[in-house]
Protein backbone atom coordinates (compact mmCIF):
# COMPACT_ATOMS: atom_id res chain seq x y z
CA UNK A 1 0.00 0.00 0.00
CA UNK A 2 2.76 2.38 0.97
CA UNK A 3 4.56 1.47 -2.23
CA UNK A 4 1.51 2.37 -4.29
CA UNK A 5 1.12 5.65 -2.45
CA UNK A 6 4.72 6.58 -2.97
CA UNK A 7 4.34 5.92 -6.69
CA UNK A 8 1.31 8.19 -6.84
CA UNK A 9 2.92 10.98 -4.87
CA UNK A 10 6.28 10.77 -6.58
CA UNK A 11 5.97 13.43 -9.29
CA UNK A 12 8.04 11.44 -11.78
CA UNK A 13 6.02 8.24 -11.53
CA UNK A 14 2.84 10.25 -11.39
CA UNK A 15 3.73 11.98 -14.63
CA UNK A 16 4.74 8.75 -16.36
CA UNK A 17 1.52 7.01 -15.33
CA UNK A 18 -0.64 9.97 -16.27
CA UNK A 19 0.91 10.16 -19.73
CA UNK A 20 0.43 6.45 -20.08
CA UNK A 21 -3.27 6.81 -19.28
CA UNK A 22 -3.64 9.70 -21.72
CA UNK A 23 -2.12 7.72 -24.56
CA UNK A 24 -4.07 4.66 -23.55
CA UNK A 25 -7.29 6.55 -24.32
CA UNK A 26 -5.95 7.41 -27.78
CA UNK A 27 -4.76 3.84 -28.29
CA UNK A 28 -8.16 2.46 -27.33
CA UNK A 29 -9.70 4.72 -29.95
CA UNK A 30 -7.29 3.37 -32.55
CA UNK A 31 -8.04 -0.13 -31.30
CA UNK A 32 -11.59 0.27 -32.57
CA UNK A 33 -10.39 1.49 -35.97
CA UNK A 34 -7.46 -0.85 -36.51
CA UNK A 35 -7.91 -3.72 -34.11
CA UNK A 36 -11.63 -4.25 -34.44
CA UNK A 37 -12.50 -2.88 -37.87
CA UNK A 38 -9.13 -3.69 -39.45
CA UNK A 39 -8.52 -0.26 -40.99
CA UNK A 40 -4.97 1.02 -40.68
CA UNK A 41 -4.53 4.62 -39.71
CA UNK A 42 -1.11 6.26 -39.63
CA UNK A 43 -2.48 9.66 -38.75
CA UNK A 44 -3.97 9.17 -35.32
CA UNK A 45 -1.78 11.89 -33.78
CA UNK A 46 -3.49 14.45 -36.03
CA UNK A 47 -6.75 13.81 -34.20
CA UNK A 48 -4.99 14.18 -30.87
CA UNK A 49 -3.68 17.53 -32.02
CA UNK A 50 -7.14 18.67 -33.13
CA UNK A 51 -8.53 17.82 -29.69
CA UNK A 52 -5.51 19.31 -27.95
CA UNK A 53 -5.46 22.65 -29.76
CA UNK A 54 -9.20 23.19 -29.85
CA UNK A 55 -9.67 22.46 -26.16
CA UNK A 56 -6.62 24.52 -25.19
CA UNK A 57 -7.78 27.50 -27.24
CA UNK A 58 -11.23 27.27 -25.66
CA UNK A 59 -9.70 27.19 -22.20
CA UNK A 60 -7.43 30.13 -22.92
CA UNK A 61 -9.77 32.42 -24.85
CA UNK A 62 -13.29 31.40 -23.90
CA UNK A 63 -12.59 30.34 -20.30
CA UNK A 64 -15.19 27.61 -20.69
CA UNK A 65 -15.02 24.68 -18.25
CA UNK A 66 -12.38 22.04 -18.96
CA UNK A 67 -14.76 19.13 -19.35
CA UNK A 68 -16.79 21.01 -21.95
CA UNK A 69 -13.61 21.88 -23.83
CA UNK A 70 -12.49 18.28 -23.71
CA UNK A 71 -15.85 17.13 -25.07
CA UNK A 72 -15.72 19.71 -27.85
CA UNK A 73 -12.15 18.63 -28.61
CA UNK A 74 -13.32 15.05 -28.93
CA UNK A 75 -16.30 15.96 -31.09
CA UNK A 76 -14.20 18.17 -33.34
CA UNK A 77 -11.69 15.37 -33.80
CA UNK A 78 -14.57 13.03 -34.64
CA UNK A 79 -15.91 15.57 -37.15
CA UNK A 80 -12.54 15.61 -38.88
CA UNK A 81 -12.51 11.85 -38.62
CA UNK A 82 -15.74 11.75 -40.59
CA UNK A 83 -14.46 14.31 -43.09
CA UNK A 84 -11.32 12.24 -43.65
CA UNK A 85 -13.32 9.04 -43.63
CA UNK A 86 -15.69 10.06 -46.42
CA UNK A 87 -13.05 10.05 -49.14
CA UNK A 88 -10.59 7.58 -47.62
CA UNK A 89 -12.81 4.78 -46.34
CA UNK A 90 -13.29 3.64 -49.91
CA UNK A 91 -9.61 2.82 -49.92
CA UNK A 92 -8.06 -0.25 -48.40
CA UNK A 93 -4.71 -1.40 -47.09
CA UNK A 94 -1.68 0.54 -48.25
CA UNK A 95 -3.71 3.29 -49.90
CA UNK A 96 -5.62 3.99 -46.73
CA UNK A 97 -2.36 4.00 -44.77
CA UNK A 98 -0.80 6.54 -47.12
CA UNK A 99 -3.89 8.76 -47.08
CA UNK A 100 -4.06 8.86 -43.29
CA UNK A 101 -0.32 9.48 -43.15
CA UNK A 102 -0.75 12.41 -45.53
CA UNK A 103 -3.65 13.77 -43.51
CA UNK A 104 -1.53 13.64 -40.35
CA UNK A 105 1.19 15.70 -41.99
CA UNK A 106 -1.30 18.20 -43.41
CA UNK A 107 -2.81 18.84 -39.99
CA UNK A 108 0.61 19.28 -38.42
CA UNK A 109 1.69 21.74 -41.11
CA UNK A 110 -1.55 23.68 -40.77
CA UNK A 111 -0.91 24.07 -37.04
CA UNK A 112 2.68 25.20 -37.72
CA UNK A 113 1.38 27.91 -40.03
CA UNK A 114 -1.56 29.13 -37.98
CA UNK A 115 -1.19 32.24 -35.84
CA UNK A 116 -3.73 31.50 -33.15
CA UNK A 117 -2.05 28.18 -32.31
CA UNK A 118 1.31 29.88 -31.92
CA UNK A 119 2.69 28.27 -35.04
CA UNK A 120 6.05 26.60 -34.73
CA UNK A 121 6.67 28.47 -31.47
CA UNK A 122 3.95 26.46 -29.86
CA UNK A 123 1.02 27.38 -27.66
CA UNK A 124 1.76 28.05 -24.02
CA UNK A 125 -0.12 29.24 -20.99
CA UNK A 126 -2.60 26.40 -20.89
CA UNK A 127 -3.78 25.92 -17.30
CA UNK A 128 -3.14 22.52 -15.78
CA UNK A 129 -6.46 20.74 -15.45
CA UNK A 130 -5.45 17.15 -16.04
CA UNK A 131 -4.47 14.95 -13.14
CA UNK A 132 -3.97 11.25 -12.69
CA UNK A 133 -7.42 10.73 -11.17
CA UNK A 134 -9.28 12.40 -14.03
CA UNK A 135 -7.21 10.49 -16.56
CA UNK A 136 -7.85 7.10 -15.03
CA UNK A 137 -11.55 7.74 -14.49
CA UNK A 138 -11.71 8.51 -18.21
CA UNK A 139 -9.63 5.42 -18.99
CA UNK A 140 -12.18 3.30 -17.15
CA UNK A 141 -15.04 5.01 -18.98
CA UNK A 142 -13.28 4.50 -22.31
CA UNK A 143 -12.61 0.83 -21.65
CA UNK A 144 -16.20 0.36 -20.56
CA UNK A 145 -17.72 2.08 -23.58
CA UNK A 146 -15.41 0.35 -26.06
CA UNK A 147 -16.16 -2.95 -24.43
CA UNK A 148 -19.86 -2.25 -24.88
CA UNK A 149 -19.38 -1.14 -28.48
CA UNK A 150 -17.23 -4.13 -29.36
CA UNK A 151 -19.80 -6.57 -28.05
CA UNK A 152 -22.81 -4.89 -29.57
CA UNK A 153 -24.47 -5.61 -32.89
CA UNK A 154 -22.47 -2.72 -34.31
CA UNK A 155 -19.19 -4.06 -32.92
CA UNK A 156 -19.85 -7.52 -34.29
CA UNK A 157 -20.46 -5.94 -37.69
CA UNK A 158 -17.14 -4.11 -37.46
CA UNK A 159 -15.36 -7.37 -36.71
CA UNK A 160 -17.09 -8.95 -39.70
CA UNK A 161 -15.78 -6.12 -41.87
CA UNK A 162 -12.26 -6.80 -40.61
CA UNK A 163 -12.62 -10.50 -41.42
CA UNK A 164 -14.13 -10.19 -44.89
CA UNK A 165 -15.55 -7.02 -46.37
CA UNK A 166 -17.37 -8.69 -49.22
CA UNK A 167 -19.01 -11.28 -47.02
CA UNK A 168 -19.94 -8.52 -44.54
CA UNK A 169 -21.54 -6.51 -47.32
CA UNK A 170 -23.62 -9.49 -48.42
CA UNK A 171 -24.79 -9.94 -44.82
CA UNK A 172 -26.48 -6.58 -45.13
CA UNK A 173 -23.82 -4.38 -43.55
CA UNK A 174 -23.23 -1.01 -45.14
CA UNK A 175 -19.47 -1.48 -44.96
CA UNK A 176 -18.50 2.01 -46.07
CA UNK A 177 -20.74 3.81 -43.61
CA UNK A 178 -19.83 1.50 -40.74
CA UNK A 179 -16.14 2.13 -41.33
CA UNK A 180 -16.77 5.86 -41.16
CA UNK A 181 -18.71 5.40 -37.92
CA UNK A 182 -15.86 3.37 -36.43
CA UNK A 183 -13.44 6.06 -37.55
CA UNK A 184 -15.58 8.76 -35.93
CA UNK A 185 -15.74 6.94 -32.58
CA UNK A 186 -12.03 6.14 -32.64
CA UNK A 187 -11.01 9.70 -33.47
CA UNK A 188 -13.35 11.05 -30.78
CA UNK A 189 -11.25 9.27 -28.17
CA UNK A 190 -8.10 10.63 -29.82
CA UNK A 191 -9.51 14.12 -29.42
CA UNK A 192 -10.31 13.55 -25.75
CA UNK A 193 -6.81 12.20 -25.25
CA UNK A 194 -5.37 15.28 -26.95
CA UNK A 195 -7.36 17.58 -24.67
CA UNK A 196 -6.00 15.77 -21.61
CA UNK A 197 -2.51 15.99 -23.07
CA UNK A 198 -2.83 19.75 -23.63
CA UNK A 199 -3.98 20.41 -20.09
CA UNK A 200 -1.26 18.17 -18.70
CA UNK A 201 1.73 19.55 -20.61
CA UNK A 202 0.39 23.15 -20.50
CA UNK A 203 2.25 23.74 -23.73
CA UNK A 204 1.58 22.41 -27.21
CA UNK A 205 3.85 22.22 -30.19
CA UNK A 206 2.94 20.76 -33.58
CA UNK A 207 6.01 18.55 -33.35
CA UNK A 208 4.32 16.69 -30.47
CA UNK A 209 1.91 15.30 -33.03
CA UNK A 210 4.14 14.15 -35.85
CA UNK A 211 4.29 10.85 -37.61
CA UNK A 212 6.32 9.24 -34.83
CA UNK A 213 3.50 9.89 -32.38
CA UNK A 214 0.98 8.24 -34.68
CA UNK A 215 3.34 5.37 -35.09
CA UNK A 216 3.85 5.00 -31.32
CA UNK A 217 0.11 4.72 -30.76
CA UNK A 218 -0.25 2.22 -33.58
CA UNK A 219 2.54 0.20 -31.94
CA UNK A 220 0.63 0.14 -28.65
CA UNK A 221 -2.33 -1.39 -30.44
CA UNK A 222 -0.47 -3.80 -32.70
CA UNK A 223 2.07 -5.05 -30.20
CA UNK A 224 -0.50 -5.65 -27.50
CA UNK A 225 -2.62 -7.71 -29.85
CA UNK A 226 -4.94 -6.48 -32.57
CA UNK A 227 -8.58 -6.61 -31.63
CA UNK A 228 -8.05 -7.11 -27.94
CA UNK A 229 -8.78 -4.46 -25.30
CA UNK A 230 -6.54 -6.12 -22.68
CA UNK A 231 -3.92 -6.35 -25.41
CA UNK A 232 -4.11 -2.64 -26.12
CA UNK A 233 -3.81 -1.87 -22.41
CA UNK A 234 -0.82 -4.18 -22.04
CA UNK A 235 0.83 -2.89 -25.20
CA UNK A 236 0.44 0.69 -24.05
CA UNK A 237 1.75 -0.12 -20.59
CA UNK A 238 4.80 -2.04 -21.83
CA UNK A 239 5.75 0.40 -24.55
CA UNK A 240 5.22 3.56 -22.49
CA UNK A 241 7.00 2.20 -19.46
CA UNK A 242 9.83 0.40 -21.25
CA UNK A 243 11.63 3.58 -22.37
CA UNK A 244 11.39 4.86 -18.78
CA UNK A 245 12.75 1.69 -17.23
CA UNK A 246 15.47 1.61 -19.85
CA UNK A 247 16.73 5.07 -18.95
CA UNK A 248 19.67 3.61 -17.03
CA UNK A 249 21.21 2.34 -20.24
CA UNK A 250 21.27 5.95 -21.46
CA UNK A 251 21.99 6.31 -25.16
CA UNK A 252 21.36 2.63 -25.86
CA UNK A 253 17.80 3.05 -24.67
CA UNK A 254 16.12 3.35 -28.04
CA UNK A 255 18.34 0.61 -29.41
CA UNK A 256 17.08 -1.84 -26.80
CA UNK A 257 13.54 -0.60 -27.29
CA UNK A 258 13.85 -1.37 -30.99
CA UNK A 259 15.35 -4.79 -30.33
CA UNK A 260 12.49 -5.58 -27.92
CA UNK A 261 9.99 -4.72 -30.61
CA UNK A 262 11.69 -6.97 -33.16
CA UNK A 263 11.78 -9.84 -30.66
CA UNK A 264 8.10 -9.41 -29.87
CA UNK A 265 7.19 -9.41 -33.55
CA UNK A 266 9.17 -12.61 -34.09
CA UNK A 267 7.82 -14.50 -31.11
CA UNK A 268 4.34 -13.02 -30.84
CA UNK A 269 3.39 -11.98 -34.37
CA UNK A 270 -0.24 -11.45 -33.37
CA UNK A 271 0.78 -9.25 -30.48
CA UNK A 272 1.13 -10.07 -26.82
CA UNK A 273 -2.55 -10.83 -26.35
CA UNK A 274 -3.58 -11.34 -29.96
CA UNK A 275 -6.97 -13.03 -30.22
CA UNK A 276 -7.62 -12.63 -26.51
CA UNK A 277 -11.09 -11.29 -26.06
CA UNK A 278 -12.31 -10.46 -22.55
CA UNK A 279 -15.79 -11.77 -23.25
CA UNK A 280 -14.55 -15.09 -24.55
CA UNK A 281 -12.16 -15.48 -21.62
CA UNK A 282 -14.98 -14.88 -19.15
CA UNK A 283 -17.38 -17.10 -21.03
CA UNK A 284 -15.00 -20.03 -21.16
CA UNK A 285 -14.13 -19.59 -17.48
CA UNK A 286 -17.79 -19.53 -16.57
CA UNK A 287 -18.65 -22.57 -18.66
CA UNK A 288 -15.68 -24.43 -17.22
CA UNK A 289 -16.92 -23.48 -13.76
CA UNK A 290 -20.34 -24.86 -14.61
CA UNK A 291 -18.72 -28.19 -15.28
CA UNK A 292 -19.86 -28.41 -18.87
CA UNK A 293 -18.27 -27.11 -22.01
CA UNK A 294 -21.47 -25.54 -23.24
CA UNK A 295 -21.87 -21.85 -23.78
CA UNK A 296 -25.30 -20.32 -23.73
CA UNK A 297 -26.54 -19.77 -27.23
CA UNK A 298 -28.26 -16.45 -26.74
CA UNK A 299 -25.25 -14.18 -26.60
Partner 1 sequence: MLLAVENLHVSYGGIRALKGISFEVEEGKIVALIGANGAGKSTTLRTICGLVRAQSGRIEYKGTVVNKVPPYKIVGMGISMVPEGRRVFTRLTVLENLEMGAYSRGSSQEAKESLANVFKRFPRLQERKSQLAGTLSGGEQQMLAMGRALMSRPQLLLMDEPSMGLAPMLVEEIFSIIREINNSGTTILLVEQNAHMALSVAGSAYVLETGEIALSGPAAEMADNPEVRKCYLGE
Q: Which residue ranges make up the site for partner 1 (CB under 8 A)? A: 153, 156-157, 159-160, 162-164, 166-175, 227, 275, 280, 283-284, 295, 297-299
Q: Which is nearer to partner 1, 169 or 244 (CB)?
A: 169
Q: Which is nearer to partner 1, 166 or 262 (CB)?
A: 166
Q: Which is nearer to partner 1, 128 or 280 (CB)?
A: 280
168 near 155, Cβ under 8 Å?
Answer: no
Minimum distance from residue 299 beta carbon to partner 1 (Å) = 7
Minimum distance from residue 171 beta carbon to partner 1 (Å) = 5
Minimum distance from residue 33 beta carbon to partner 1 (Å) = 17
Minimum distance from residue 78 beta carbon to partner 1 (Å) = 23
- Bridge partners of 123, per DSSP, are 204
48 near 213, Cβ under 8 Å?
Answer: yes
Q: Which is nearer to partner 1, 136 or 176 (CB)?
A: 176
Minimum distance from residue 285 beta carbon to partner 1 (Å) = 13
Minimum distance from residue 174 beta carbon to partner 1 (Å) = 5
Q: Which is nearer to partner 1, 216 or 277 (CB)?
A: 277
Q: How far apart are CA 206 and CA 149, in angstroms?
A: 32
* Long-range contacts of the stretch 242-249 (C-beta < 8 A, 24+): 244/16
49 near 198, Cβ under 8 Å?
Answer: no
Q: Which is nearer to partner 1, 11 or 297 (CB)?
A: 297
Minimum distance from residue 44 beta carbon to partner 1 (Å) = 23
Closest Cα to residue 45, out of 150, 197, 149?
A: 197
Minimum distance from residue 283 beta carbon to partner 1 (Å) = 8
DSSP H helices, 151-290, are 153-163, 165-170, 175-201, 211-224, 229-245, 253-267, 278-289
- Bridge partners of 204, per DSSP, are 123
Q: Which is nearer to partner 1, 38 or 97 (CB)?
A: 38
Q: How far apart are CA 254 and CA 135, in angstroms?
A: 27
Q: Which is nearer to partner 1, 156 or 253 (CB)?
A: 156
Q: Distances in Å between the alpha carbon of 126 and those of 29, 175, 189, 193, 196?
A: 25, 41, 21, 15, 11
Q: How far apart are CA 132 and CA 145, in angstroms?
A: 20
Using the Cα atoms of residue 21, residue 212, residue 67 and residue 129 in order, give the sign of their dihedral.
positive
Q: Residue 93 region, left (φ>0) first, then alpha (ψ -120 to 50), else beta? A: left
Amino acid sequence: MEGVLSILTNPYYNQVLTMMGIFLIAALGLHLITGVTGQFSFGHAAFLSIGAYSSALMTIYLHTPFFLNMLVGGLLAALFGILLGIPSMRLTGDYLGITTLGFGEIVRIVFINTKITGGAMGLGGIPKETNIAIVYILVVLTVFSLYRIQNSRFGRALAAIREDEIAAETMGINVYWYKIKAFAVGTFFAGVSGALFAHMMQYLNPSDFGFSRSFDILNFVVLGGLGSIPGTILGTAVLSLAPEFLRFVKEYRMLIYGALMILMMIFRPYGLLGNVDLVRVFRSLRSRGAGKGTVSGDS
